[in-house]
């Protein structure tokens, strides 16, 4: 596995539509493994292949509801190694993803690994049912909510050449970001 460079805003590859994956081979597996390592290093919630310069319909999304104390009814403190293992287990590989159904609405702050330091308010569905294929070409469906639904929509937008700044309702100022971070710390 290798960490790949994440393209930044202004790179023309970010606004091109990705092509469907038809070969579920070792090249795809290497791409997925490299993207996983890149996402973990960047500590992001999602990464699409166009962000690493590959115009294929491939994305990774972190489903923070998988394996957390909240879903298991147990709230435990994890050391750094356990946190990394849990984070890695929460990453879902999406090949040729499509949204089947979406319900509700949520508005919240959103950022992007290709636009470091830029955040804005974006409205997305509260719940998303999507279908995709895994690295071997096997189809699956999954319903996600909250932050994972936001991430799925964000990454599928990338696959369609859409950057979140084109759907942002309002950009957030440094003061607002600082205030949001302090509120989040108080809640924990």
The token pair at 177 is 């970001």
Do residues 87 and 176 touch, judged by C-beta distance below 8 A?
Answer: no
Catalytic-residue membership of 155: yes
Find the catalytic residue in 155, 169, 175, 187: 155
Q: 155: alpha, beta or left, given left = phi > 0 and alpha = psi -120 to 50? A: alpha
CATH number of 12-187: 3.90.45.10
The pTM score is: 0.88
What gap in Å lies between CA 24 and CA 16, rounded to an integer? 22
Model pLDDT for residues 101-150, shown as the tens digit of each residue: 999 999 999 999 999 999 999 999 999 999 999 999 999 999 999 999 99
């Amino acid at each position: 596995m290798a960490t790949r460079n994440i393209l930044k805003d202004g790179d023309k590859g970010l606004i091109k539509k990705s092509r469907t994956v038809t070969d579920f081979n070792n090249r795809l597996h290497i791409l997925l493994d490299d993207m996983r390592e890149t996402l973990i290093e960047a500590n992001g919630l999602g990464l699409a292949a166009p962000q690493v310069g590959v115009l294929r319909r491939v994305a990774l999304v972190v489903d923070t509801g998988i394996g957390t104390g909240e879903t298991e009814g147990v709230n435990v403190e994890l050391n750094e190694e356990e946190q990394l293992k849990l984070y890695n287990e929460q990453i879902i590989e999406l090949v040729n993803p499509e949204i089947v159904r979406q319900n509700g609405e949520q508005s919240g702050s959103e950022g992007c690994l290709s636009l470091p330091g830029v955040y804005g308010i974006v409205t997305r569905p509260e719940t998303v049912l999507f279908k995709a294929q895994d690295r071997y070409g096997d189809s699956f469906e999954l319903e996600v909510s909250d932050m994972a639904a936001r991430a799925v929509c964000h990454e599928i937008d990338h696959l369609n050449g859409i950057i979140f700044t084109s759907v942002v309702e309002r950009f957030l100022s440094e003061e607002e970001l600082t205030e949001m971070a302090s509120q989040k710390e108080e809640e924990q």
